Structure 1
């Protein structure tokens, strides 16, 4: 006589959100939401909540397709990504689009890679909304400068190596190396420098830091496609970094002793790495 084998029931992990007392994404308002560094599992509950409420999602190039797929099928998705060296929408046009959508009574989710307020132009978009009288909410995200490095086994701070860290962008509004950076001060101000969007100008940035007195033997790591199955890490030194070519982007660069901890903390490998949700 055959018996039935009872399969374990999958828990409805997100069902509890139905009764959660989260704020409402109201018609005519905009939420500026951080999508995290890569894997769609690295978003906040508020971000997931917003995906289900939005009428339209205006998203960056770095927002994963797996995360966008979590939105209901009726939600309009508008690409507003900017990628270096490629035709891209102007920032002013993106801000105007958010305003127009909100004035049309839409529930607008502006989904931005990483954290919207860390080199994400979120402050500019929020300022434009405020000037236009559009109500908005900021939902922070996990920055690639912290979360992306963590997926490479690199703690951005460690009490044995650094009590300070600098976050630096690799280009200004024109796409060139930032002119307003005090390179001698930056080179010496903190043991660890985390650089966003720096691969294109890494040779020039390296030269500036070396000229300002930074040690050429300082460790440097580049984490490409952080927190995704395509993640790759290059480890080198500041002096040798100028010789690198064809580095995959998007990438986060970290200069300083913290990359040494990858030797024992490089956890995102094997089966865990193959899981699409991070």
Structure 2
């Protein structure tokens, strides 16, 4: 069991989304933030940065860290545009570091998480959409999402590779639990959110690592189980197609018919005929 290095969680000031074309491009002259830290995530494109006197190049899926009080300058390349998210926060305290520092200032201010890129982007998009929604408690929800992002970054920066191996094991276990839940409930209406709740994670995270493990999304996996069950019932029973549709989780026989034909390339009736044993 690890002792957390996070002593106080961050307060989110804002999250912004920027897109700059190649011309005129992006340029922010030398400046600093006296009471907050900014974390950038590059969605696409490239840029150059000078942070605390050190030069960096950053590209798609890199994080760029402007820690409190450190002078920095940023500009995009003239040959291409850039798209990125910018998160501003304060009140973060990690053990042994100055306030609002995620990294020792001697460590590189540009980094990435190759095995968690999709998760990070999905999390940041959710945070941005939540803050932009103006819905009740949106600030609180976005702040909790920021806390999760910071915790995952700390896990990557301070505890890898052991943490990565443990997280992969946890993901594999979650996938098995989700598969079991789907197998036990495929004959009922199922949503991605309901499947995710059964394994205590968010729909976006589950979709990512479920597809990574199985090659298909949780909903696609559900459809496959339903089609396999329907094929078995069509072969072994004389039940009407409408009844089979209900038994495998579809309230609409028309929807079932169309989906079966799309997945199996035959209508239920055609499949039943083709699968029937030859007459003797």
TM-score, normalized by the shorter chain, greater than 0.5: no
Q: Give the structure-1-normalised TM-score.
A: 0.25
Of structures 1 and 2, the larger Rg is shown by 2
TM-score, scaled to structure 2: 0.25
The higher relative CO (CA closer than 8 Å, separation ≥ 6) is in 1
